Chains A and B, each alone.
Chain A
Amino acid sequence: MILASGFFEDLFRGILQGTPPGAVYALIALGFVLTYKTSGVFNLAFGAQAYISAAMYFKVHSVWGWPKWAALLVSVFVLAPLVGLVLERAIFRHLRTASAVSKLVVTIGLSVALPEIFNWAARFSAVAGRQITGIVPDGAGVYYDPFGVYRFNRDELAMMAVALAGTLLLAALFRFTMMGLSMRAVVESPRMTELSGINANRVSAFAWALSSTFAGMAGVLIAPRFNSLSSGDYFTLVIIAVAAAATGLLISLPRALLGGLGLGWFIAVFNTFLPGLADDHTWLRPFQENLTPSLPFVVLFAILVLWRAVGRQREASDPLAGVDPPPPALAALERHPKLTLFTRLFGVFFVTVVGLVVWFRADVLWMSLVTKAVIIALIYLSVTVITGMGGQISLCQGTFAAIGGFTVFQMADRFNMSVLAAALIGAALAAVVGALLSLPVLRLGGVWLAIATLAFAFFFDAVMVKFSWVGGGSTALLTGTQVPRPLIGPIDFASDRAFLVLAVVALVVVSVVVIQLREGTIGRTLAALRGSEVAAASIGISAARARIVAFAVSAAIAGLGGALLAMHQQNVNYALNFAPIVALFWLVVVVALGSRTVEGAIQAGAAFALFEPLILQGELLGWIVRGEERLPEFFPLSGNWRLILFGLMAMQFARHPEGLVEHGKRRSATRINGWLEAREARA
């Protein structure tokens, strides 16, 4: 009896404790649903928008010393809608008819770039330990304890009140107003809405202003909970809140509210009881230590995979999509034969010159950069397989690469195995993990697949890496995850030159494999599926097998690349190379530059590895004027510029969803084709 009452008291306290974080998730989930409902965008940049307003509030209130109401006005009711309007006008208006997947890529780019742009423009930098004061007076200092088991402070109450009021107001907006109806109509088909006599542009501008304001509000309300403001925290929150939004299929506001609260309760109750259980059952202890931080991601993954309706939800297609021209074919297929010959010759010439220069003149740093570019290009081919050929987005390519890297580390460390053999084992292991992962998630498709793979990446990051049989545990803390260079007979790849050759050979082999795959049955099946799953099924093409193979091959390529990168750097460097956020970068870079071709991946690899050191840090200039003094101060550009440029690239991608390289190629091909044909006509 006593035990039972203790149990219920614990449970009750757990629930109360979980309510404030639940309200946080609910606020974000509501905003996320609002954006999706009114703009059709699965907006991963929602957290970035929330961050901007929170940072602005901090700046205005705490730095400039303005009163709270003024800070709220500026940050939430002026800046936030303004950001929304600019985003709509500059980016999302052009993306209305784009695929959900290209929109996702753009929002990933924005989620990285927006905070950086704001920090730079407002000269803002978060100071650790300087918390934001909430919008209510003495928000963190006054407590209410209605049940005698848990004390709520005013900030928390304000947050819960806004979440509830927001749900009601927004529900009323959608139910009773013309604007609410128009916003839903525009999401499905802007053109049909226009045929009803409604200015679709105005409607979507309003929608973005509204959802951004909500993002800003959420950002400011949540901010007091953080030790210091960081856009990364907001991003992670959004990923978790997707779980709550998913329970309402991204459409239902009340379900998003309940889902958010439920998530908070579940996590709090879990954390209330697990320690006690783990005390009694020792075998639970490692799980308790490692699972707690990753619990939200496990829940997210479970909801996506188990909630059957999520996978079945299909986007309503625009009935007037037929007004758009079809996407053009790959430029290479339409090229004039002479032009093709010329490009090939030029390509060979260019690669030879670069190769010779690097071979004979490069110093250690250069050699290392080029090697890294080659290996990254190899990893990017894994994106070419899954996204370029399969049309699906995986956000856990970094995890597959990490599996390759860690396998090499473990095999060499424990069994003194040859690293090249270990790399193959790593690739095989990654392939198995990829195939297993693909079984539950493939049914999802589209953005849900992307989010499920991201949840997996975060789970790996939070739990698996900490195990000693994966990331090395405490050994790795002391000595790092060291990996030796390979040795084949007399050839010692410890020499940078030899290793570069090895990397190039690997890249060539993988390129050939990818091209073979694309031309073969699997590639054709994937292409058919990308066109229309229903149509493909009606002629007897099965999705499952081809997709599982694509996932496995892609994972294997990433695993091999991860192993090579670990050998190259002689360390796995997980946090630097393979963390989930890095893999997000990868995807955007590849997709923006061109995910459908092998060249696209190679150019993306070069861009990722070489751009910052060469251009931003002035290495290229320094190298050109070699002998003179280096010019490190020549470009006063900080590393943050990489993030901003990266965001700009994502925006550029919005205009050219076939990829920037492909776009450039097509433009020049059209011009030169025309010229060649005109000359032939004259002759």
Chain B
Amino acid sequence: MSASILELRDVEAGYGPFRALFGVSLAVGAGEAVALVGANGAGKTTLARVASGLLAPSAGSVHIDGSEADQGSLPAWRFVRAGMMHAPEGRSVFATLSVEDNLALSFQRAFGRSGLADGLDRAYELFPRLGERRGQVAGTLSGGEQRMLSLARVLVESPRLLIADELSLGLAPMVVDQVFETLSQIRATGTALLIVEQQVGHALELCDRAAVLEHGLISWQGPTNEAGAALESRLFESRAPH
């Protein structure tokens, strides 16, 4: 098997005494696109947090390029430096900084001072609305605009692996299409994807592989063309009493 960029082995994780993941193993290879689907509260966001270093697993291990990431203190910035970017769920912009400062914070590190202007241009090209509002404080943007801002940050940088949690939430249908369009573009440039998505149709179309998370366990994973049937039976199952 080709070396995976990111691999979780028997990861258990949770919040305080509460456990959300019970031994999850998942690998994303170079250039591969994986869709993570599951019911509300199944633990998808938790898994994304572990995969990007935000949350330390209580058991199991996280491997970056085959080598184990330091247990206990997994600073998220190391993941980013290793080429892994995470667009978290919900609002994820600095509310007190301007649109431009939000982007500059990321781009200056990624592209250096000289590449900063170029990066900003690309972001505004992707989302012209952001260009119009570059001086505005991000906290006062509309929900959709805030989403665009956090997306622009990760899409422009085209990292080695993009972990995206509910990208399309709160965006207008046309913008959703545009976002998936961009995702397939950056996929073509070799970026691997780990996408959490409620818009299962879109996600399966984009990805090679899917994993189904149920109650903190991966109950099925395989190629996306087999996922349809697997998902159907599972969705019915989870709707059944108890």
Contact = CB atoms under 8 A, between A and B. Distances in A.
B101 interface: yes
Contacts of B110: 197
A188 B77 contact: no
B4 interface: no
Nearest to B54: A323
B55 to A, nearest CB: 6
B139 A316 contact: yes
A199 interface: yes
Which 4 residue pairs across A and B have the least CB separation, nearest first? A325-B16, A197-B80, A325-B15, A194-B76
Interface in A488-504: none
Contacts of B109: 178, 196-198
7 contacts: A191-B76, A195-B54, A195-B80, A197-B80, A323-B49, A324-B15, A325-B17
A426 B80 CA distance: 62
B170 to A, nearest CB: 14
Contact of B94 (A178, A192, A323, A328): A192
Given A185-B94, A326-B16, A197 B77 contact: yes
Interface of A: 178, 181-182, 184-185, 188-189, 191-201, 316, 319-320, 322-326, 328
A328 B17 CA distance: 9
Contact of A328 (B16, B54, B55, B97): B16
A320 B91 CA distance: 8
A309 to B, nearest CB: 15
B38 to A, nearest CB: 18
Contacts of B17: 325, 328
A324 B53 CA distance: 14
Interface string B85-122: 11011111111110001001110111000000000000
A201 B75 contact: yes
A185 B97 contact: yes
Nearest to A194: B76
Contacts of B81: 197
Main secondary structure, interface of A, reads helix
Nearest to A328: B16
A319 B150 CA distance: 12
A320 B87 CA distance: 11
Contacts of A194: 53-54, 75-77, 80
B19 to A, nearest CB: 11
A199 B77 contact: yes
Interface in B119-172: 139, 153
Contact of B85 (A182, A195, A320, A323): A195
Contact of A316 (B80, B85, B95, B153): B95
A199 B109 CA distance: 11
A178 B108 contact: yes
A197 B106 contact: yes
Contacts of B236: none
A194 B105 CA distance: 11
A122 to B, nearest CB: 34
A198 B153 CA distance: 14
Contacts of A199: 75, 77
Given A181-B101, A195-B52, A316-B139, A200 B94 contact: no
A432 to B, nearest CB: 40
A319 B91 CA distance: 6
A192 B101 contact: no
Interface in B14-36: 14-18
Interface in B30-89: 49, 52-55, 75-77, 80-81, 85-86, 88-89
Nearest to A325: B16
A188 B97 contact: yes
A318 to B, nearest CB: 10
Contact of B92 (A181, A319, A325, A326): A319
Contacts of B90: 319, 322
Contacts of B97: 181, 184-185, 188
Given A178-B108, A325-B18, A198 B77 contact: yes
Contacts of B94: 184-185, 188-189, 192, 316
B90 to A, nearest CB: 7
Contacts of B108: 178, 181
B88 A319 contact: yes
Contacts of B104: 181
A197 B92 CA distance: 15
Given A196-B109, A320-B88, A326 B76 contact: no
A193 B18 CA distance: 26
Contacts of A316: 94-96, 139
A195 B18 contact: no
B93 A319 contact: yes
B105 A182 contact: yes
Contacts of B153: 196
Contacts of B89: 322
B214 to A, nearest CB: 21
Contacts of B75: 194, 199-201
B130 to A, nearest CB: 16
A98 to B, nearest CB: 15
B109 to A, nearest CB: 5
Nearest to A320: B88
A188 B86 CA distance: 18
A544 B94 CA distance: 31
Contacts of B105: 181-182, 185, 193, 196, 198
B80 A326 contact: no
A13 to B, nearest CB: 42
B97 to A, nearest CB: 6
